[in-house]
Structure 1
Amino acid sequence: MAEISCLFKLAESNEYPMIFIGSGISKRYLQNYPSWLDLLEEFWNIVEPEEGFFETLNKINYDLKQQNNYEDECDLEYDTNIAISTLIEKKYTKKFFNSEITINDFSAKDAYFTKISPFKQALSNRFSEYEIKPEMQEEIDLFREVLNKSQIVLTTNYDKLIEDIFVEGDEALNPQIFIGQKGLFKQTTDWGEIFKIHGCVTDPESIIISEEDYKQFDNNSVLISAKIISLLLNSPIVFLGYSLTDRNIRNIIKDFSNSLSASEKEIMKDRIILVNRKEGENNLIEYKTTENGLECTYTVIETDNYASIYKELLSINQGVYPSEVRKFQSLIRELIVDRGKKGSLKSALISPQQIDELGERINDENLVVALGDSTLIFKLPDLPTYMEEFLYGGGKIHTDIALKFVATTQGSNARIPLFKFLKDVELDQTSLNTSEKEKIRSRIEKFGDIQDSINVITRYRKIKFDSLAEILEQSYKESKEMDVISYNIESLEIAEIEKYLFRKFEVYREQGNVTYSTAFRRLTSLLDIKKYK
C-alpha cells in the first residue's frame, strides 16, 4: 500500500502551516532576480572592475580551507560568500566616501546622520524595484492564497514581494511585519505575521550581509529556533525557496532536533517539509531523509510543479484566516489585560455560560462568546453581508452597526464603501464612540476623493475607454478589468457599473468568497463616492 503523502496528512489534520521562504521563491517569480553569488559579482564589478571576481573568490576560498577544517563543503562555500561580502562592503564604503560611487537619493550627509552603511543602502535600492514574470501570475495567485492561510511566514529575503502579494489580495488581511530579530523578542500573537529575519529594503541597516552581521545573527539564532519550536508543537513548517545545502535551514533544523526526544522526532518527520525545486519535474517526488549531522528526519518534496503543492495546502480550512485570528486575539488580549487591570473585566466580558464551563464545552460544540460593553450586545455583520447591503440594500443592517463594522474591523488602508451609510446621517448623533467616529472621519478624509483613488491605480492599468462594453471586450483578467473600469469611472454610467458589480458579487456568493480583492474594493468604493457622496 502506498504511503499517504505528507501534504494529505496536513490537510487531514487541518492545521495552518508556518512557511519559511528563501530567495528561490523570489528568483522563481521575479525577472532577473540574482542568486547570492550573482549579487556579489554584480557589486564586485562596481568596486573592482579590473580585478576578476572569481579569482578573488578562489583566493578567499583557498585561505579559509587552509585555516579551518571544514567537514562540509556547504559551510566552506557559505563562509566564502560572507567573506567576500564583507570585503565588498569595505571597498564600496570607501569609494562612496571618496565620491567615486553615487547612490540615488542617498548622500554622504545622509550616511553621516543616519549611520546607514552605503553598501546596505545600495542593496536596499537594488531590491526595492522588481518585475514579476508574467507567465508565473497564475501560480503567484495560488501562492498568495497559501500566504493568507499561513500561520506565520519567516523569510531571509530582503525584497518586499511577500508583503506586496498580500496587499494585492484583500487589504484587510494584511499581516503584521517584524524586521530583523527584534520582532523575536516581542510578545506576538503568532498568527498572520511575517518575520523578515535577514532584514528588509525598508530598513537598510537591518540587512544582514557582512561577517559581523552574520556573527550577530548566529549568536541570536536560538531565538529563531525557540520561535519555531514553540510553534511546531501545533503547526507544521514548510520550507520554500531553499536548497538542501542551505546552512540557514540546516542550522535551524539541527537546533530544533536537538530539543526533541526520539518519539517527538518520529512525529515531526511529517511536519517538517522542504520543497526542493527539480527543474522540469511535474510530479511530486516525496521522500524522507535523515542526516547524521542534523540528527533529524524530515520530508523532502522534489518538483517544479509548485501549483500542485499550493493547491494541496489550500485544502486546509479552519474557517477563518490566521490574520483574522490575530485581529480578534489581539482584541481579546487587550480586553483581558487592560480591562482586567482596571478591575472592570466582569462588565466587559459577557458569555452565555460561566467561564469555567467553557473548557468542558469547547471540544464538543460550536460556541459563540459575546464581547461587549455593559449588557449591550449587538451582532456585527461579516464582510459579505455588509457588501450585500451596500449593493442591494434592504435595510438588514442598521446604519450605526454598518459604521461600527467599518470602524472596528477594517484596516486603515482597506478600501470599503461607506458614503451610502453616511447619507442623511449626522455622525455625531450616532451611537459610535469617540474613537470610532474619529476612524470614520479619517477614512472619509483618506478615501473620499475619486481622483486620489484613481491616481494609485497601477500605471499599466490606466487605459482610456469610452464605454463599459469596450472594456469588457478586451477580456482582461478580472483584477485588471476592474481597475480599468475604476480608471474610467467618471465617464461610465452608474447603472452599468452597478449591474457589472451585481454579476460579480453573485459569482463570489456562489463560490463562498468571504474576502474580496483590492480591485473589487476599489471599484465598489468609487461607485459609492460617485453615487452617494
Structure 2
Amino acid sequence: MNIREFVSGFKTHPVLFVGTGLSLRYLNNAFNWDELLKSACKIVNDNEEKYLDIKAKHIVDNGVFNFPKIGSDVEQLFNQFLTENRNGSLKDINDEYYKSIESGKPISRFKLYIASVLKSLDIKSAQKEEIELLKQLKNNISAVITTNYDTLLENIIGFKPLIGNDILLSNPYGALYKIHGCVSDPSKIIISNEDYSRSKSQDELIRAQLLSLFIHNPVIFLGYGAQDENVNNILKTVFKYTEYNTDAFRKIKENFLIVEYEANSQNEEISDYHLKIEDIPIQVKKLQTDKYSSLYKELIEAKYPISAVDIRKVQNIMSDIITTAKSSDKKSIREVIVVDSHEEINNEDRVLVITYGNRETANTIKQTVFKEKLIPEHMSVSDFINNYFEIIDEKNRERIKVIDRLTIAKNVYFPILGFKKIYSKLKYSSKIEQIQRDILDKFVKKTPKNFTRHISIEDIYKDSTIATSNKHSTLVFNVWHNNIPLENLELFLRNYDEDKGDSKYRRLIALYDYKKYK
C-alpha cells in the first residue's frame, strides 16, 4: 500500500503525534533527550565521562536507560553548580532564577537553562520545501500532540498551544497539546523523575482526554522510532480500553501510522509492523522514509466531507453561543443565533446554519451566510495585515477579493503580493504593489550606510552596541539586503506578541511579503 492509498481511507481528519525527531529534522539547535542532558552536564564538568557515570547508574535490564532518573541527577548537579557560581557564564540564568523567587514562583535553574537553549528557532535552510508543506497541513488535520519543548510547531502550524491543566476539557480541533511542557513556561517542563511523579495523576486525566482523539481519528507518529516509549504508552492506553480482536480493535489499529526516519530513503510504501503491547500482538502501519514531503502532500490534498478549517469556525461560533447565552446583556445574546434553512437571517447576526434541505439549498445558504457574514465586506486594511499569515495559509480567495473594495493610501505598508499570488484577478493590485515597493524603498534609502551586518534577528536584539531605537532599522536593512533568511523573519512575525497596529509590524509584514513574492 502506498501513502495515497492509505490516506484516501481516512474518514476523519488525522492527529499528528510529534516527537523530537521532527525538531532534529528542521532545527539546527535541536537536541534529543540524551544530548540535552549531556549538554547541561558538560557545563558542570567538561569531562564527558561524568555524564556516562550518571547514565550507568540508571540502566535497566534490557539495556535501555531511565532518562527521567538521569534527568534528576543532572538537574541536582546543575543547580548546585550554578548556586556556587553565581556570576559565572550562566549569570543570566541565575538572574532569572532569583526573579522567579521574588515573584513567589521559583523555577529550577536547570529548566530555565533548557528554555534558554531551545527558545530560539534556527531553521535548517535545506528543509524549506518540507516546512512550507507543513504549514499547509493546518487546513487538513484536527490536532497536534507533542512531547517537544520548543515552539517550532506553534510557529509553523499556528495552532494554540495547551500545556498542563489547559489540556483538560479542551476543544480538540485546532489545538497543540504540549504534554511534556514548553519553553514558554519553564516551570511546566517535565524532564526529571520527580516531574513525572508529580504529573502522574494529571497524565492519567490527559490521556483520558486524548483517548477519544486516538479512537476516532487516524494518528500519525512523526519524529519517533517504532520502539519509542511514548509510542508504546499511547498504544497501551488505547488498546487497554478496546476488547481484543473486535471490529473496533481492528478499525483502530488500522488508523495508526508510525513514520520512521530512514536516511536517504525515497520509500513511499507503507508496510505492516508487528509489535506486542503487554503480550497482546498488534499490527499497525509503518512508513520508513526520508521523503516526508510525499506524506505531507497527500495529507494536504485529502478530501473530507467538511474541512478542518470550517469545523474550527463552527466551534468558535458555538463557543460564542455558550458565552453570550450566559450574558445579562440581551443585545449580545442576539449576536449569535442558530437557524435552519427556512428562517430569516438578519444582516447584523452571526449565524450558524443547520440545513435540512438538499445540496442546492445548502449551497444557497452557504453563499448568503458564509460570504456575507463570516467574510464580511467591511474588512479593513488592518484586518488583512493582522491576519496576513492566516489568510495566506488558508488560501482564502473570498477574503482576498474584498481588497478591491479597500482604499490603500500611499503611506500605508500593505502586503499585496502574497494575496495576489492566491487571487490574481485583483483589479488594483498593480497600483498597490507600486505603493508597497516605493514605501519600502524610501525607508531603506533613509537607513545609514554604516549599519552592521547580522544574520539573525536574535543577534540584532542581543547586540548591546545597537541602540534600542535603531534595532528595527537594522532589522529592515539586513532583511532588505538578504543577510537575514526570510524563514527567520517569518517565524519572528508569526510569533509577534506586541501591538500589530504598530508601524514596525506593518513595515515588516510588507517587507516579508515583498521579499517572498516579488
The 2-side partners of 1:25 and 1:328 are apart by 31
Aligned to 1:36: 33
Residue of structure 2 aligned with 1:257, choices 233, 236, 239: 239
Shift of 1:146: 2.2
Contact residue 160 and residue 175 of structure 2 kept, 8 A: yes
Map residues 309-388 of structure 1 onto 2, 5 A cutoff. 309-318=295-304, 322-323=308-309, 325-339=311-325, 348-353=337-342, 358=354, 361=357, 366=362, 379-380=372-373, 382=375
What displacement does 1:522 show? Answer: 4.8
Amino acid at match of 1:299: K
Residues 121-141 of structure 1: per-residue CA shift (max 9 Å, x gap): 010000012322211111221
- SS of the residue corresponding to residue 270 of structure 2 reads strand
- Report the equivalent of 1:462: 480
* CA distance in structure 2 between the partners assigned to 1:26 and 1:142 by the alignment: 15
Q: CA deviation at 1:381?
A: 7.3
Decide whether the 8 Å contact of 2:3 with 2:268 is kept in 1: no
Preserved contact between residue 100 and residue 106 of structure 2 (Cα < 8 Å) = yes
Report deviation, 1:48: 2.5
> CA-to-partner distance for each residue in 1:41-83, whole Å, 9 max, x for gaps?
1111111334713541353135xx4xxxx5xx37x42x2x221
**Closer, same or farther: CA 120–19 of 1 in aligned 2, 3 Å:** same
Q: Which amino acid aligns with 1:29?
A: Y
Q: What is the SS of the residue equivalent to 1:402?
A: coil
Relative to the length of structure 2, the TM-score reads 0.67
| 1:505 alignment counterpart | none
Question: Does the residue aligned with 2:260 lie in a helix, a strand or coil?
Answer: strand
Partners of 2:260 and 2:216 in 1: how far apart? 24
- Whether 1:183 aligns to 2:175 is no
Q: 1:407 to 1:58 in 2, by over 3 A?
A: closer
* 292-301 vs 258-267, greater mean Cα deviation: 292-301
Residue 275 to residue 405, structure 1, CA distance change in 2 (3 Å):
same
Read off the aligned partner of 1:31 and give its amino acid letter.
N
Are the aligned partners of 1:82 and 1:209 in contact in 2 as well (CA < 8 Å)? Answer: yes
CA contact (8 A) 1:41 1:53 kept: no
Q: Which moved more, 1:242-251 or 1:327-336?
A: 327-336
- Relative distance call for 1:407 and 1:327 in structure 2 (3 A) is farther
Question: Structure 2 CA distance, aligned partners of 1:325 and 1:99?
Answer: 53
Given that residues 5 and 286 in structure 1 are in contact (C-alpha distance below 8 angstroms), is that contact kept between their aligned partners in structure 2? yes
Provide the rounded CA distance (Å) in 2 between the counterparts of 1:308 and 1:334: 38
Alpha-carbon displacement from aligned partner over 1:79-100 (angstroms, at most 9, x marks no partner): 2x22121111111112222225
Q: Which of 389, 394, 402 is matched with 2:378 structurally? A: 402
Structure 2 contact 27–123 (Cα < 8 Å) conserved = yes
Match of 2:222 in 1: 240
| Higher RCO, Cα 8 Å, sep 6+ | 1
Structure-2 change in CA distance of 1:205 and 1:350 (3 Å) = same
| Partner in structure 1 of residue 188 of structure 2 | 206
| 1:110 matched to 2:128 | no
Match of 1:231 among 207, 213, 217: 213
Separation of aligned partners in 2, 1:269 and 1:453: 53
Report the CA distance shift for 1:420/1:97 in structure 2 as closer, same or farther (over 3 A): farther
Between the two proteins, the alignment pairs up a number of residues equal to: 415
Deviations 1:398-450 (A, max 9, x none): xx8323797699659979998974689xxxxxxxxxxxxxxxxxxxxxxxx98
- Helix, strand or coil for the counterpart of 1:349? strand
Q: Can you list the C-alpha shifts for 1:252-288, whole angstroms capped at 9, x where unaligned?
A: 1111111113221111222111101111221134222
Q: Which residue of 2 aligns with 1:141?
A: 132
Structure 2 Cα separation of the partners of residues 198 and 45 of structure 1 = 24
Query: Which residues of structure 1 form unaligned runs of 5+?
Result: 167-173, 383-399, 425-448, 466-475, 484-516, 528-533
CA, structure 1 residues 266+6, in 2 after alignment: closer, same or farther (shift >3 Å)? farther
Query: In the alignment, is residue 11 of structure 1 matched against residue 8 of structure 2?
Result: yes
CA contact (8 A) 1:93 1:118 kept: yes
Deviation at 1:16, TM superposition (A): 2.0
The answer on 1:282 being equivalent to 2:266 is yes
Contact (CA 8 Å) 2:161, 2:175: kept in 1 or not? yes
Asked if the contact 1:348–1:371 (Cα under 8 Å) also holds between the matched residues in 2, the reply is no
CA deviation after TM superposition for structure 1 residue 12, in Å: 4.4
Question: Corresponding residue for 2:434?
Answer: none
Q: Taking structure 1 as reference, are residues 331 and 407 closer, same or farther at Cα in structure 2, changes over 3 Å only? A: farther
CA distance in 2 between counterparts of 1:228 and 1:143 reads 22
**Deviates most, 360-369 or 273-282:** 360-369
Distance in 1 between the 2:317 and 2:389 partners?
Answer: 19
Task: Provide the rounded CA distance (Å) in 1 between the counterparts of 2:81 and 2:231.
Answer: 35
Distance 1:289 1:142 in 2: 27
SS in 2 for 1:379: helix
1:98 is matched with 84
Query: Any idea what the Cα deviations from partners look like across 1:98-127, whole Å, max 9, x if unmatched?
Result: 225553644152242240111100100000
Report what 1:164 is aligned to: 155
Cα displacement string for residues 201-236 of structure 1 (whole angstroms, at most 9, x for unaligned residues): 111111111111122334333334323321234421
Q: Distance in 1 between matches of 2:239 and 2:91?
A: 45
Alpha-carbon distance, 1:331 to partner: 2.0
Cα gap change, 1:282 to 1:198, in 2 (>3 Å): same
1:299 alignment partner in structure 2:
285
Is the alpha carbon distance of 1:367 and 1:234 closer, same or farther for their aligned partners in structure 2, counting shifts above 3 Å?
Answer: farther
Whole-Å Cα distance in 2 between the matches of residues 260 and 248 of structure 1? Answer: 19
Distance in 2, Cα, partners of 1:418 & 1:456: 31
Q: 1:152 to 1:123 in 2, by over 3 A?
A: same
Gaps of 5+ in 2: 345-352, 392-399, 410-438, 444-469, 491-507
Distance in 2 separating the partners of 1:363 and 1:233: 30
Letter paired with 2:146: T
Whole-Å Cα distance in 2 between the matches of residues 458 and 274 of structure 1? Answer: 42
SS for the counterpart of 1:232 is helix
SS of the residue aligned with 1:220? Answer: helix
Comparing 212-221 and 235-244, the one that deviates more: 212-221
| TM-score where L is the length of structure 1 | 0.66
- Percentage of pairs with the same residue: 21
- When the two chains are superposed, the root-mean-square deviation of aligned CA atoms in Å is 4.4
Once the two structures are superposed, residues 305-342 of structure 1 have per-residue CA deviations (whole angstroms, 9 ceiling, x without a partner) of: 11111122122144876355324421233125523776
Contact 2:68 2:193 in 1 (8 A): yes
